[in-house]
Amino acid sequence: MTSTESRSMPTDMVTVVTHPLVRHKLTHLRARTTSTAGFRRLVRELSLLLAYEATRDLKLEPVTIETPQETMEGEELSGKKLCFVSILRAGNGILDGMLDLIPSARVGHIGLFRDPETLEAVEYYIKLPDDIGDRICIAVDPMLATGHSAVAAIDRLKNAGCNSIIFVCLLAVPQGIACLQKAHPDVRIITCSIDRELDDHGYICPGLGDAGDRLFGTK
């Protein structure tokens, strides 16, 4: 394992974040006994840690500042600005934590639902910043399961002119990763875990259940 500040394990375009805090919080997130309030809190905390990894390669430029003691050369972000894109509805749980870290980021929303028969993604809403083509986009959705929703969302981002995209999720499975990489090999994937498989209904196993239902207290 490559030793980095966040103790992440990179594999080509897929990064599994293995920091001890991430592993601890993910274990409690998976537990069926975790309350709705606890689930929301854990997703928000994990999202902040994932945002840290997703923004690792942002460019910096020198800036001169005055400290209480003296003048010094510091660094600040330069170049392209960020846009977080939530894949509704469950993506909003991750969005909140990322905005805690970078409150100045623009936000887009893509509404998709999974057809229960075909498991294909169907769009019902989309709203993106006009200048999204000038921004680094971080698309967020708790689960990368079949991969159809992620592919559909990224299709729409690219159609809107975005060519710098990172996909961030809490859990993924090999099938979903393969689907996304086949359609969009240029998109980096960041996740907390690559789980074993999908069940017959398209849910991740061992997983954490339906992320949207657990976030919002619905069934």
- C-beta separation of 191 from 168 below 8 A: yes
Residue tagged active-site, from 18, 55, 96, 213: 213
Binding-site residues from annotation for uracil: 204, 209-211
What SS3 class is residue 2? coil
Q: Are strands 165-172 and 188-194 parallel, antiparallel or unpaired?
A: parallel
Binding-site residues from annotation: 89, 114, 141-149, 204, 209-211
In 87-111, which positions are buried (b, 16+ CB within 10 angstroms) versus exposed (e)?
bbbbbbbbbbbbbeebeebbbbbbb
Instruction: Respond yes or no: is residue 213 known to be catalytic.
Output: yes
Residue tagged active-site, from 18, 96, 106, 210: 210
Instruction: Respond yes or no: is residue 135 known to be catalytic.
Output: no
Instruction: Respond yes or no: is residue 2 known to be catalytic.
Output: no
Residue tagged active-site, from 96, 106, 114, 155: 114
CA 65, distance to chain mean position in Å, is 33
Binding-site residues from annotation for 5-phospho-alpha-D-ribose 1-diphosphate: 89, 114, 141-149, 210
Residue tagged active-site, from 118, 134, 186, 196: 118
Instruction: Respond yes or no: is residue 100 known to be catalytic.
Output: no
Report the alpha-carbon angle 14-17-18, nearest 5: 130
Residues involved in catalysis: 114, 118, 210, 213
